[in-house]
Amino acid sequence: MPVIAIIGAQWGDEGKGKVVDMLAEKSSVVVRFAGGDNAGHTVINPRGHFKLHLIPSGIFYPEVTCVIGNGVVLNPASLIKEINQLAANSIDTSRLVISDRAHLIMPYHRLLDELEEKARGKKAIGTTLRGIGPAFTDKVARMGIRAADLLDKRTLRQRLKTVLENKNMILERVYGVDPLSVDDMYREYAGYADILRPNIKDSVELIGAALDRGEVVLLEGAQGAMLDIDFGTYPFATSSSPLSGNASLGSGIAPNRIDRILGVYKAYCTRVGSGPLPTELHDEMGHRIREQAQEYGTTTGRARRCGWFDGVAARHSARINGFTGAVITRLDVFDGFPSLKVCVAYRIGDRQINRFPSSISELQKCEPVYEEMPGWLADTTTVRRWQDLPAEAKNYIEKLSSLMGCCVNYACIGPERAQTIEVNPLF
Ligand code: IMP
């Protein structure tokens, strides 16, 4: 039985939460494999309207085990807040598993994220200030503290003492701010350990056993391919890899066990924070898309930058992820638009290119080459079958499919589970 990875194909916020919520019905395990509480997954289902940052979007099904994988950086305070919010809505979180290998976000990570952003001045990345970059930096620098360290309080204190000697030097000497106290931090994290202890497990064994029983496992991505640390718009990127390759590394599932890789694309593009967005609209149209779609960040509330669908970035994303299929979300946002534009290439001076440049300076010179398509003056939100979509909407999806270079499995025409049209079967 299959393992399905669900991957953000653009700059994040594509609607992965809805797709996972929908597919989780037939799954037994859902694993988050990257990012941290910088992510914001909105899920609207019969249980209510939820904003998840760390907990996998499969949590609403009583039989599904949800795993925060080793590839995630975990802020225990955020997680406990999220668990309590779900509990207040009678959602059972007892099947939540935290990989003992997941790294923890510590108070100095958040502080350093803020200080580093301030120091960048006008060149700030526009991070979510959740401490993501500094936490992944420490992981690679072998200075991280992992969930397993919460299980042994003596190790936790020793580890904190060693790491804080280094961090306090940076805080005091580089940034001129007060040092942090080992005792205070130990007390805070020992408290989190008492709450989260039952959830911290060896997730590799647990997931492996589910695979051996032939159960369906979903790998839930966070952020999007264009924010990838290698293949995104570096340095305006996040600090982990949202790509399908990392779905394997961030969960402990071998690459050859992943059967389907679904790319989630919005029918247009959005981005939060700084960095290139070649099709960005600074005019009335950008404003119209933002207001119609309510494009404001789930995690930070920031207004998202909006633009037309970028076929060059879409193909780049499909290629590096190996998408077996795509989901187009938010198609309904274009209901009532008389015409739409799609970027089919970039122009730099008198040259036309079809590849996504790796350098920021080259990207900044790229002008989108658009094709204009007729829109549809109809309400698609109640449509449930492909054949009932307006011809212009079908053409639009087919155009995106040809630009991406992969088939479309689903189109979403609203946030509810039922507002989903099967375009091509997933299996
Ligand atoms: P960080 O991940 O907080 O370090 O932020 C780095 C960049 O990624 C910033 O431009 C953020 O706005 C962006 N980013 C991080 N998480 C998300 C997300 O879940 N959706 C969209 N953008 C994100």
Same domain, 394 and 296: yes
Contact 360, 233 (CB under 8 A): yes
95 and 109: one domain? Answer: no
Q: How far is the CA of 361 from the centre of ligand 1 (A)?
A: 21
- Which of 128, 132, 269 most suits a substitution to test ligand 1, by most atoms within 8 Å of the C-beta? 128
Whether residue 313 is contained in a domain is answered as yes
- Do residues 94 and 149 both lie within one domain? no
Residues 284 and 323 in one domain: yes
4 vs 272: CA distance, rounded Å: 27
The model's pTM: 0.96
Q: Is 13 in the pocket of ligand 1 (CB under 6 A)?
A: yes
The finding on whether 144 has its CB within 6 A of some atom of ligand 1 is no
User: Are residues 367 and 402 both part of a single domain?
Assistant: yes
Out of 260, 277, 299, pick the residue that ends a domain: 260
Instruction: Kindly state if the Cβ of 240 falls inside 6 Å of ligand 1.
Output: no
Q: Ligand 1 within 6 A of 127 CB?
A: yes
d(CA 142, CA 325): 37
Which residue do the tokens 């036309």 mark? 352
Residue 132 Cβ contacting ligand 1 at under 6 Å: yes
Judge whether 427 lies within some domain. Answer: no
How remote is the CA of residue 364 from the centroid of ligand 1, in Å? 20
Q: Are residues 372 and 273 part of one domain?
A: yes
CB atoms within 10 A of CB 113: 23
Q: Are 140 and 229 in contact (CB under 8 A)?
A: no
Tell me the CA–centroid distance for residue 161 and ligand 1, in Å.
30
- The answer to whether the CB of 335 falls within 8 A of the CB of 382 is no
Which structure tokens are listed for 136?
């992944």
274 and 239 within one domain: no
Residue 60 covered by a domain: yes
Q: Per-residue DSSP letters for 124-149?
A: -----SSSHHHHHHHHHTT---BGGG
Q: Give me the active site residues, please.
A: 13, 41
Q: Ligand 1 within 6 A of 125 CB?
A: yes
What pLDDT, on a 0 to 100 scale, did the predictor assign at position 371? Answer: 98
Look up the CATH number of the domain holding residue 330. 3.90.170.10
Contact of 20 with 55, CB cutoff 8 Å:
no
* Domain-ending residue, one of 140, 172, 196: 196
Among 244, 260, 276, give the residue marking a domain's end: 260
Domain identity same for 52 and 187: no
How many angstroms is it from 321 CA to the middle of ligand 1?
A: 19
Eight-state DSSP code of residue 303? B
Query: Are the beta carbons of 59 and 32 closer than 8 angstroms?
Result: no
Same domain, 118 and 147: yes
Distance, in Å, from the CA atom of 402 to the CA atom of 68, rounded to the nearest integer, reads 35
- Minimum-distance ligand 1 atom for the alpha carbon of 40: 19
Q: Which two tokens stand for residue 71?
A: 């590839």
Q: How far apart are CA 35 and CA 117, in angstroms?
A: 18
The dihedral built from the CA positions of residue 193, 198, 201 and 203, taken in this order, carries a sign that is negative
Q: What is the pLDDT of residues 101-143, one digit of tens each?
A: 999 999 999 999 999 999 999 999 999 999 999 999 999 999 9
Torsion, Cα of 356, 362, 364, 365 (10° steps): -100
* 135 Cβ closer than 6 Å to some ligand 1 atom: no
For ligand 1, the distance from its centroid to the CA atom of residue 418, given in whole angstroms, is 29
Whether 107 and 170 map to the same domain: the answer is: yes
The residue nearest atom 9 of ligand 1, judged by CA position, is 127
Widest distance between CA atoms in the chain: 66
CATH number for the domain including 220?
A: 3.40.440.10
Atom 2 of ligand 1, nearest CA residue? 238
Task: Let me know whether 290 and 410 are in one domain.
Answer: yes
Whether 223 lines ligand 1, by a CB cut-off of 6 Å, is yes
Ligand 1: which atom is nearest the Cα of residue 274? 10
Amino acid at 356: F
Alpha-carbon distance 306 to 295, whole Å?
8
Whether ligand 1 lies within 6 angstroms of the CB of 37 is answered as no
Nearest CA, atom 1, ligand 1: 127
Distance, CA 127 to ligand 1 centroid (Å)? 6
**Number of structural domains found in the chain:** 3
Distance 22 CA to ligand 1 centre (A): 24
Q: Which residues of the chain have pLDDT under 50?
A: none
Residue 322 neighbours by CB under 8 Å, 6+ apart:
244, 261
Per the structure, the complete domain to which residue 359 belongs is given by 266-422
Nearest CA to ligand 1 atom 11: 127
State residue 1's pLDDT score. 59
Q: Please indicate whether residue 273, judged by its CB atom, sits closer than 6 Å to ligand 1.
A: yes
- Are 49 and 171 part of one and the same domain? no
- Decide if 114 is inside a domain: yes
